[in-house]
Structure 1
Amino acid sequence: MDKWEPISLKELFDKIHNTETDLNGELWNFWQLIKVYPTKWIENEFGNEGGGFWVVAICGTKVIWYNDIEEGFNTSNYEVFGKIDGYYCNQDELSWAVIRLFDLVKFGGDIIGQAGPPQSLV
């Protein structure tokens, strides 16, 4: 069994750029508003071994971050800048997390803990 290695910044940028080519219209505009330069944030439950998890977007009190243990994007709350509140192990594509967060902003509700492709609200 191979030893787990945290994702490199280059590999993460590849995932981000692949998603950016698929976003358009309102989702592209929303992504441009919330995306940040990937930065490692603390997550105390499982994030210590890899030096934290890469946060790629911030919107209000929510962040989109990459869980390189489970190899997927997640959305979590935060109260303290630099610290993810709540570990999730979704194996979502970045576009799913962006759509879910966009829908939350547009329609309200809660997205924490949901996994898989977003479902239509209409």
Structure 2
Amino acid sequence: MYRPKFVQVSHDISVSVKPMYLEEESNPLISKHVFAYFITIENIADQKVQLLKRHWQIHDSSGKDHQIEGEGVVGKQPMIEPGSNHQYNSFCVLDSYQGSMSGYYIMERADGEEISVQVPEFILVSHLLN
């Protein structure tokens, strides 16, 4: 099955996202739709960066929107060297068959400057709609 890839570059940091519907984990009868997302953060700058915080905006087509903020990603605050990347995956649960996520990471450069790195808006849609 084809999975789209969403990419955005800001402050010489590339963030790419591949979302996927998890049919085995979902239960449409009780409005539980589980989506995984696989993220690659690539440092194309000339200095290392550390991911400090994350901020997510989650939109559910049922009308429920919420925000999530926290330290790092999946319990880590990775240091990403120039030319390197950090990959991780996580998930979210929606009430409806479709929605979207977007957000940003707060990162600190080696020189101490904090930057806001945008995560592209990515679409969460169940293949059950097709």
Confirm or deny a common fold (TM above 0.5). no
TM-score interval for Structure 1 and Structure 2 normalised by the shorter chain: under 0.3
Structure with higher RCO (Cα < 8 A, 6+ apart): 2
